[in-house]
Amino acid sequence: PKDARALSKVFFDRLQVLEEGTHEYQYARNTLIEMNLSLVRFAASRFRNRGGDDTEDIIQVGTIGLIKAIDRFDLSREVEFATFAVPYIVGEIKRFFRDTTWSVHVPRRLQELRVDLAKAKEQLSAELDRDPTVKELAAHLDL
């Protein structure tokens, strides 16, 4: 095959006839993943301005979307794989942001206080052998 699309089709054809779990199946699947990582990098680049140094994490979760797309792709539907895969990749990346970021901007001081509050509650619960009151938590945190 001369181009990546034709080569992808060859490997998708092979996946349909190979038994899942065999070495040959894994090889074909892994080759498809490696051949299409550029789709993940493309989708990840759309999210590079979201703040933080999440690029590797974004690529990692995007790759999960790519794998899901490979596993669910149906050649008989006559759709280009890239057209099918990009929504899976972007969806996985959006889910990552939804699950790991605050939906409303919360000042860092309050984000850190939330962590301190959880630690204080755990510590006071152990000392008091019950859940601490709001006053006890506030006193413990000097609030």
CATH number at residue 47: 1.20.120.1810
Check pLDDT > 60 for residue 1: no
pLDDT, tens digit, 9 for 90 and up, residues 64-99: 999 999 999 998 888 999 999 999 999 999 998 888
The rounded mean pLDDT for the chain is: 89
Check pLDDT > 70 for residue 51: no
Taking the C-alpha atoms of residue 110 and residue 107, their distance in angstroms, rounded to an integer, is: 5
Over residues 35-45, the mean pLDDT reads 93
Give the number of domains in the chain: 2
Is the domain of 33 the same as that of 74? yes
Is the domain of 60 the same as that of 114? no
Query: Using an 8 Å Cβ cutoff, are 96 and 57 in contact?
Result: yes
* pLDDT for residue 83: 94
Domain region containing 62:
4-100
Cβ-count burial 72-102 (b if 16+ within 10 Å, e if not):
ebeeeeeeebbeebbebbbbbbeebeeeeee
* pLDDT for residue 105: 75
Is the domain of 19 the same as that of 86? yes
Check pLDDT > 70 for residue 52: no
Is the domain of 85 the same as that of 125? no
Is the domain of 132 the same as that of 80? no
pLDDT, tens digit, 9 for 90 and up, residues 106-122: 788 888 898 899 999 99
Is the domain of 90 the same as that of 69? yes
Is the domain of 93 the same as that of 114? no
Is the domain of 70 the same as that of 87? yes
